[in-house]
Structure 1
Amino acid sequence: MTCCEGWTSCNGFSLLILVVLGVVINCIPLGISLVEGDSASQNPISCYEWWFPGIIGAGLMVIPATTMSLAARKRACCNNKSGMFLSSLLSVITIVGAVYCMLVSLQALMAGPLICNTQANSTVSCKFSLRNLSNFDPESFNLLWFFNDTCVSPTGLKTTTINDLGNNWRIPNSGSEEDRHRIFHFSVFLSLLLVGILELLFGLSQILIGFLGCLCGVSRRRNQFV
Protein backbone atom coordinates (compact mmCIF):
# COMPACT_ATOMS: atom_id res chain seq x y z
CA MET A 1 0.00 0.00 0.00
CA THR A 2 1.44 3.36 -1.01
CA CYS A 3 1.46 6.57 0.99
CA CYS A 4 -1.57 7.83 -0.93
CA GLU A 5 -3.59 4.72 -0.17
CA GLY A 6 -2.54 4.66 3.48
CA TRP A 7 -3.35 8.32 4.00
CA THR A 8 -6.70 7.92 2.25
CA SER A 9 -7.57 4.88 4.37
CA CYS A 10 -6.64 6.78 7.55
CA ASN A 11 -8.88 9.67 6.48
CA GLY A 12 -11.71 7.23 5.86
CA PHE A 13 -11.53 5.69 9.33
CA SER A 14 -11.23 9.11 10.96
CA LEU A 15 -14.24 10.45 9.04
CA LEU A 16 -16.25 7.34 9.93
CA ILE A 17 -15.64 7.97 13.63
CA LEU A 18 -16.56 11.65 13.25
CA VAL A 19 -19.76 10.76 11.36
CA VAL A 20 -20.89 8.51 14.22
CA LEU A 21 -19.96 11.15 16.81
CA GLY A 22 -21.80 13.91 14.92
CA VAL A 23 -25.02 11.88 14.65
CA VAL A 24 -24.92 10.75 18.29
CA ILE A 25 -24.18 14.24 19.64
CA ASN A 26 -26.96 15.79 17.56
CA CYS A 27 -29.40 13.19 18.90
CA ILE A 28 -28.70 14.14 22.53
CA PRO A 29 -30.76 17.38 22.64
CA LEU A 30 -33.41 15.82 20.40
CA GLY A 31 -33.77 12.98 22.87
CA ILE A 32 -33.97 15.39 25.80
CA SER A 33 -36.69 17.35 24.01
CA LEU A 34 -38.76 14.21 23.53
CA VAL A 35 -38.25 13.01 27.11
CA GLU A 36 -38.93 16.30 28.88
CA GLY A 37 -41.74 17.58 26.66
CA ASP A 38 -45.11 16.28 25.64
CA SER A 39 -44.10 16.61 22.00
CA ALA A 40 -41.00 17.25 19.95
CA SER A 41 -41.70 20.99 19.81
CA GLN A 42 -41.97 21.51 23.56
CA ASN A 43 -39.06 22.47 25.82
CA PRO A 44 -36.27 22.07 23.27
CA ILE A 45 -32.72 22.91 24.24
CA SER A 46 -32.26 25.12 21.17
CA CYS A 47 -33.78 26.02 17.83
CA TYR A 48 -30.60 24.89 16.12
CA GLU A 49 -30.83 21.25 17.17
CA TRP A 50 -33.59 20.94 14.55
CA TRP A 51 -31.21 22.15 11.84
CA PHE A 52 -29.56 18.70 12.24
CA PRO A 53 -25.97 19.97 11.97
CA GLY A 54 -24.58 16.64 13.18
CA ILE A 55 -27.02 14.40 11.31
CA ILE A 56 -27.00 16.20 7.95
CA GLY A 57 -23.87 18.36 7.89
CA ALA A 58 -21.44 16.18 9.84
CA GLY A 59 -23.26 12.95 8.99
CA LEU A 60 -25.00 12.34 5.68
CA MET A 61 -22.87 14.77 3.67
CA VAL A 62 -19.66 13.08 4.84
CA ILE A 63 -20.69 9.50 4.04
CA PRO A 64 -19.80 9.57 0.28
CA ALA A 65 -16.18 10.64 0.87
CA THR A 66 -15.91 8.27 3.83
CA THR A 67 -17.05 5.29 1.75
CA MET A 68 -14.71 6.18 -1.10
CA SER A 69 -11.75 6.63 1.25
CA LEU A 70 -12.34 3.32 3.04
CA ALA A 71 -12.30 1.56 -0.34
CA ALA A 72 -8.59 2.33 -0.59
CA ARG A 73 -7.88 -0.16 2.23
CA LYS A 74 -9.13 -3.01 0.04
CA ARG A 75 -7.38 -1.62 -3.01
CA ALA A 76 -10.71 -1.40 -4.76
CA CYS A 77 -12.13 1.66 -6.54
CA CYS A 78 -9.56 4.01 -5.02
CA ASN A 79 -6.63 1.97 -6.32
CA ASN A 80 -6.39 4.00 -9.53
CA LYS A 81 -5.96 7.61 -10.54
CA SER A 82 -9.62 8.18 -11.38
CA GLY A 83 -10.63 6.74 -8.01
CA MET A 84 -8.30 9.08 -6.13
CA PHE A 85 -9.59 12.01 -8.15
CA LEU A 86 -13.18 11.02 -7.34
CA SER A 87 -12.33 10.84 -3.63
CA SER A 88 -11.12 14.44 -3.87
CA LEU A 89 -14.33 15.58 -5.53
CA LEU A 90 -16.46 13.84 -2.90
CA SER A 91 -14.41 15.51 -0.20
CA VAL A 92 -15.81 18.83 -1.40
CA ILE A 93 -19.22 17.64 -0.16
CA THR A 94 -17.57 16.76 3.14
CA ILE A 95 -16.19 20.29 3.43
CA VAL A 96 -19.59 21.83 2.67
CA GLY A 97 -21.21 19.64 5.32
CA ALA A 98 -18.49 20.43 7.85
CA VAL A 99 -18.84 24.17 7.25
CA TYR A 100 -22.62 23.87 7.65
CA CYS A 101 -22.15 22.04 10.94
CA MET A 102 -19.68 24.68 12.13
CA LEU A 103 -21.88 27.64 11.20
CA VAL A 104 -24.96 26.18 12.87
CA SER A 105 -22.93 25.36 15.99
CA LEU A 106 -21.49 28.87 16.15
CA GLN A 107 -24.93 30.40 15.77
CA ALA A 108 -26.24 28.14 18.53
CA LEU A 109 -23.36 29.04 20.84
CA MET A 110 -23.90 32.73 20.15
CA ALA A 111 -27.65 32.59 20.78
CA GLY A 112 -27.66 30.28 23.78
CA PRO A 113 -30.49 27.89 24.71
CA LEU A 114 -34.11 28.91 24.27
CA ILE A 115 -34.55 29.29 28.02
CA CYS A 116 -32.18 32.28 27.80
CA ASN A 117 -33.99 33.99 24.94
CA THR A 118 -37.71 33.53 25.36
CA GLN A 119 -40.23 32.79 28.05
CA ALA A 120 -42.17 30.58 25.64
CA ASN A 121 -39.31 28.07 25.44
CA SER A 122 -40.77 26.53 22.31
CA THR A 123 -39.81 26.10 18.67
CA VAL A 124 -42.72 28.39 17.81
CA SER A 125 -40.29 31.29 18.25
CA CYS A 126 -37.63 29.70 16.02
CA LYS A 127 -36.87 31.17 12.62
CA PHE A 128 -35.52 28.54 10.26
CA SER A 129 -33.77 30.47 7.51
CA LEU A 130 -30.37 30.05 5.88
CA ARG A 131 -29.99 33.82 6.19
CA ASN A 132 -29.34 33.25 9.89
CA LEU A 133 -26.11 31.48 8.97
CA SER A 134 -24.94 34.20 6.58
CA ASN A 135 -25.64 36.91 9.16
CA PHE A 136 -23.13 35.52 11.64
CA ASP A 137 -21.12 38.37 13.17
CA PRO A 138 -17.87 37.32 14.93
CA GLU A 139 -17.74 40.65 16.80
CA SER A 140 -21.04 39.95 18.56
CA PHE A 141 -20.02 36.41 19.56
CA ASN A 142 -19.81 35.89 23.33
CA LEU A 143 -20.68 33.28 25.93
CA LEU A 144 -22.13 35.60 28.57
CA TRP A 145 -25.29 33.49 28.66
CA PHE A 146 -23.17 30.56 29.89
CA PHE A 147 -20.86 32.29 32.38
CA ASN A 148 -23.28 34.79 33.93
CA ASP A 149 -25.10 33.95 37.14
CA THR A 150 -28.30 33.74 35.11
CA CYS A 151 -29.02 34.07 31.42
CA VAL A 152 -32.63 35.20 31.86
CA SER A 153 -33.36 38.84 32.60
CA PRO A 154 -36.66 40.04 34.12
CA THR A 155 -37.83 41.18 30.70
CA GLY A 156 -36.73 37.99 28.98
CA LEU A 157 -34.01 39.85 27.05
CA LYS A 158 -30.27 39.65 27.56
CA THR A 159 -29.07 43.00 28.92
CA THR A 160 -25.69 41.95 30.26
CA THR A 161 -22.47 43.36 28.89
CA ILE A 162 -18.83 42.35 28.91
CA ASN A 163 -18.28 44.43 32.05
CA ASP A 164 -20.81 42.29 33.90
CA LEU A 165 -18.85 39.13 33.23
CA GLY A 166 -16.29 39.79 35.94
CA ASN A 167 -18.96 40.47 38.55
CA ASN A 168 -21.33 37.60 37.81
CA TRP A 169 -18.94 35.00 36.37
CA ARG A 170 -19.55 31.41 37.35
CA ILE A 171 -19.76 27.98 35.79
CA PRO A 172 -23.37 26.73 35.87
CA ASN A 173 -24.22 23.52 37.66
CA SER A 174 -27.12 21.12 37.33
CA GLY A 175 -29.07 22.53 40.26
CA SER A 176 -31.79 24.11 38.13
CA GLU A 177 -33.54 23.58 34.82
CA GLU A 178 -31.89 26.67 33.39
CA ASP A 179 -28.41 25.49 34.30
CA ARG A 180 -29.05 22.00 32.95
CA HIS A 181 -30.19 23.44 29.63
CA ARG A 182 -27.19 25.74 29.48
CA ILE A 183 -24.75 22.90 30.18
CA PHE A 184 -26.34 20.59 27.59
CA HIS A 185 -26.52 23.36 25.01
CA PHE A 186 -22.91 24.41 25.49
CA SER A 187 -21.57 20.84 25.54
CA VAL A 188 -23.54 19.66 22.51
CA PHE A 189 -22.79 22.52 20.15
CA LEU A 190 -19.18 22.93 21.23
CA SER A 191 -18.70 19.22 20.49
CA LEU A 192 -20.40 19.60 17.10
CA LEU A 193 -18.17 22.58 16.35
CA LEU A 194 -15.08 20.48 17.07
CA VAL A 195 -16.44 17.63 14.92
CA GLY A 196 -17.03 20.06 12.05
CA ILE A 197 -13.51 21.49 12.34
CA LEU A 198 -11.93 18.02 12.28
CA GLU A 199 -14.04 16.94 9.31
CA LEU A 200 -13.02 20.11 7.49
CA LEU A 201 -9.34 19.32 8.08
CA PHE A 202 -9.71 15.69 6.98
CA GLY A 203 -11.67 16.81 3.92
CA LEU A 204 -8.93 19.25 2.90
CA SER A 205 -6.36 16.56 3.59
CA GLN A 206 -8.13 14.10 1.30
CA ILE A 207 -8.38 16.66 -1.49
CA LEU A 208 -4.62 17.15 -1.29
CA ILE A 209 -3.72 13.45 -1.18
CA GLY A 210 -6.33 12.65 -3.82
CA PHE A 211 -4.76 15.02 -6.31
CA LEU A 212 -1.29 13.71 -5.44
CA GLY A 213 -2.49 10.16 -6.02
CA CYS A 214 -4.08 11.21 -9.30
CA LEU A 215 -0.88 12.85 -10.50
CA CYS A 216 1.69 10.38 -9.16
CA GLY A 217 -0.34 7.17 -9.35
CA VAL A 218 -0.94 4.42 -6.81
CA SER A 219 0.25 0.85 -6.35
CA ARG A 220 -0.79 -1.89 -8.73
CA ARG A 221 -2.80 -4.90 -7.76
CA ARG A 222 -0.76 -7.88 -6.65
CA ASN A 223 -2.20 -10.15 -9.33
CA GLN A 224 -0.61 -7.95 -11.95
CA PHE A 225 2.82 -9.07 -10.76
CA VAL A 226 1.95 -12.77 -10.83
Structure 2
Amino acid sequence: MCTGKCSKCIGVVLFPLAVCAIISNLLLYFPNGNVIAPDKITDLVWFFHGILGAGILVILPAFMMLGAGGAGCCANRCGMLLSVLLAVLGAAGGVYCVVISSLGLISGPLCDTGDGKYIYPFRNDTFT
Protein backbone atom coordinates (compact mmCIF):
# COMPACT_ATOMS: atom_id res chain seq x y z
CA MET A 1 0.00 0.00 0.00
CA CYS A 2 1.33 3.43 -0.94
CA THR A 3 1.81 5.93 1.87
CA GLY A 4 -0.63 8.24 0.09
CA LYS A 5 -3.42 5.65 0.26
CA CYS A 6 -2.60 4.87 3.89
CA SER A 7 -2.64 8.54 4.89
CA LYS A 8 -5.92 9.01 3.04
CA CYS A 9 -7.41 6.14 5.05
CA ILE A 10 -6.16 7.68 8.30
CA GLY A 11 -7.58 11.08 7.29
CA VAL A 12 -11.00 9.50 6.67
CA VAL A 13 -10.92 8.07 10.20
CA LEU A 14 -9.57 11.23 11.90
CA PHE A 15 -12.13 13.62 10.44
CA PRO A 16 -15.27 12.07 12.04
CA LEU A 17 -13.41 11.56 15.33
CA ALA A 18 -12.50 15.26 15.42
CA VAL A 19 -16.10 16.25 14.66
CA CYS A 20 -17.30 13.97 17.48
CA ALA A 21 -14.82 15.62 19.88
CA ILE A 22 -16.09 19.08 18.94
CA ILE A 23 -19.73 18.06 19.38
CA SER A 24 -18.96 16.36 22.71
CA ASN A 25 -17.25 19.49 24.03
CA LEU A 26 -20.14 21.68 22.88
CA LEU A 27 -22.59 19.43 24.72
CA LEU A 28 -20.73 20.09 27.98
CA TYR A 29 -21.93 23.71 27.82
CA PHE A 30 -25.58 22.57 27.79
CA PRO A 31 -26.04 19.91 30.48
CA ASN A 32 -29.33 18.03 30.03
CA GLY A 33 -30.04 20.29 27.05
CA ASN A 34 -30.51 23.33 29.30
CA VAL A 35 -28.81 26.70 29.04
CA ILE A 36 -27.34 27.49 32.46
CA ALA A 37 -25.22 30.29 33.91
CA PRO A 38 -21.48 30.15 33.09
CA ASP A 39 -20.54 29.90 36.78
CA LYS A 40 -22.47 26.60 37.02
CA ILE A 41 -20.38 24.96 34.29
CA THR A 42 -17.26 23.01 35.21
CA ASP A 43 -14.20 25.24 35.03
CA LEU A 44 -12.07 22.91 32.88
CA VAL A 45 -14.62 23.04 30.05
CA TRP A 46 -13.50 26.62 29.38
CA PHE A 47 -10.10 25.33 28.18
CA PHE A 48 -11.89 24.12 24.99
CA HIS A 49 -10.02 20.82 25.00
CA GLY A 50 -12.48 19.12 22.67
CA ILE A 51 -12.94 22.05 20.32
CA LEU A 52 -9.34 23.19 20.07
CA GLY A 53 -7.24 20.18 21.11
CA ALA A 54 -9.04 17.17 19.70
CA GLY A 55 -11.06 19.12 17.15
CA ILE A 56 -9.34 21.87 15.19
CA LEU A 57 -5.78 20.69 15.78
CA VAL A 58 -6.73 17.21 14.51
CA ILE A 59 -8.87 18.40 11.58
CA LEU A 60 -5.87 20.20 10.05
CA PRO A 61 -3.75 17.04 9.61
CA ALA A 62 -6.87 15.09 8.60
CA PHE A 63 -7.45 17.46 5.68
CA MET A 64 -3.78 17.22 4.73
CA MET A 65 -3.94 13.43 4.83
CA LEU A 66 -7.12 13.36 2.74
CA GLY A 67 -5.36 15.40 0.06
CA ALA A 68 -2.19 13.30 0.13
CA GLY A 69 -3.48 10.64 -2.22
CA GLY A 70 -2.72 12.61 -5.39
CA ALA A 71 -0.27 11.59 -8.10
CA GLY A 72 3.35 12.34 -7.28
CA CYS A 73 2.66 13.15 -3.66
CA CYS A 74 5.74 11.29 -2.43
CA ALA A 75 8.12 13.41 -4.51
CA ASN A 76 6.95 16.70 -3.01
CA ARG A 77 9.37 17.53 -0.18
CA CYS A 78 7.49 20.63 0.95
CA GLY A 79 4.23 18.69 1.08
CA MET A 80 5.84 15.90 3.09
CA LEU A 81 7.34 18.42 5.54
CA LEU A 82 3.97 20.11 5.93
CA SER A 83 2.35 16.72 6.49
CA VAL A 84 4.84 15.87 9.24
CA LEU A 85 4.43 19.28 10.92
CA LEU A 86 0.65 19.01 10.86
CA ALA A 87 0.85 15.47 12.25
CA VAL A 88 2.95 16.80 15.15
CA LEU A 89 0.39 19.58 15.64
CA GLY A 90 -2.43 17.00 15.71
CA ALA A 91 -0.54 14.87 18.22
CA ALA A 92 0.01 17.93 20.42
CA GLY A 93 -3.73 18.67 20.24
CA GLY A 94 -4.52 15.11 21.26
CA VAL A 95 -2.12 15.29 24.21
CA TYR A 96 -3.67 18.64 25.26
CA CYS A 97 -7.13 17.08 25.19
CA VAL A 98 -6.02 14.06 27.24
CA VAL A 99 -4.31 16.25 29.87
CA ILE A 100 -7.31 18.56 30.35
CA SER A 101 -9.72 15.60 30.39
CA SER A 102 -7.58 13.83 32.98
CA LEU A 103 -7.56 16.94 35.17
CA GLY A 104 -11.34 17.03 34.85
CA LEU A 105 -11.60 13.42 35.98
CA ILE A 106 -9.30 14.10 38.93
CA SER A 107 -11.24 17.15 40.16
CA GLY A 108 -14.64 15.54 39.66
CA PRO A 109 -17.95 17.09 38.65
CA LEU A 110 -19.42 20.43 39.67
CA CYS A 111 -22.47 19.52 41.76
CA ASP A 112 -25.48 21.35 43.17
CA THR A 113 -25.59 20.95 46.96
CA GLY A 114 -29.34 21.45 47.05
CA ASP A 115 -29.30 25.04 48.27
CA GLY A 116 -28.31 26.51 44.90
CA LYS A 117 -24.60 26.47 45.70
CA TYR A 118 -22.36 24.63 43.23
CA ILE A 119 -19.17 22.98 44.54
CA TYR A 120 -16.68 20.28 43.60
CA PRO A 121 -17.39 17.68 46.33
CA PHE A 122 -14.60 15.32 45.26
CA ARG A 123 -11.86 17.92 44.83
CA ASN A 124 -9.18 17.89 47.51
CA ASP A 125 -8.73 21.58 48.32
CA THR A 126 -7.04 21.05 51.70
CA PHE A 127 -3.57 22.51 52.04
CA THR A 128 -1.81 20.83 54.95
The TM-score range, normalised by the shorter chain, is 0.7 to 0.9
| Contact residue 13 and residue 66 of structure 1 kept, 8 A | yes
| Contact residue 68 and residue 77 of structure 1 kept, 8 A | no
Unaligned runs of 5+ in 1: 123-150, 159-226
In structure 1, what is the Cα distance between the partners aligned to 2:72 and 2:33? 42
The DSSP-based 3-state class of the residue aligned with 2:85 is helix
Q: CA deviation at 1:79?
A: 4.9
In structure 1, what is the Cα distance between the partners aligned to 2:89 and 2:71? 21
Q: CA deviation at 1:33?
A: 8.0
Unaligned runs of 5+ in 2: none
Q: Which amino acid aligns with 1:98?
A: G
The DSSP-based 3-state class of the residue aligned with 1:58 is helix
Q: Kindly tell me: are residues 48 and 33 of structure 1, through their superposed partners in 2, closer, same or farther at Cα, counting changes over 3 Å?
A: farther
Per the normalisation by structure 2, the TM-score is 0.79
The residue aligned with 2:40 is 43
The residue aligned with 2:85 is 89
| Contact residue 33 and residue 43 of structure 1 kept, 8 A | no
| Contact residue 110 and residue 121 of structure 2 kept, 8 A | no
The partner residue of 2:94 within 98, 108, 119 is: 98
Among the aligned pairs, what percent are the same residue? 31
The residue aligned with 2:60 is 64
The residue aligned with 1:29 is 28
In structure 2, what is the Cα distance between the partners aligned to 1:106 and 1:36? 25
Q: CA deviation at 1:42?
A: 3.7
Matched, 1:107 2:106: no
Per the normalisation by structure 1, the TM-score is 0.47
The residue aligned with 1:9 is 8
The DSSP-based 3-state class of the residue aligned with 1:65 is helix
In structure 1, what is the Cα distance between the partners aligned to 2:29 and 2:83? 32
Q: How many residues align?
A: 121
In structure 2, what is the Cα distance between the partners aligned to 1:77 and 1:15? 23
In structure 1, what is the Cα distance between the partners aligned to 2:60 and 2:73? 13
Q: Which amino acid aligns with 1:106?
A: S
Q: Kindly tell me: are residues 36 and 68 of structure 1, through their superposed partners in 2, closer, same or farther at Cα, counting changes over 3 Å?
A: closer
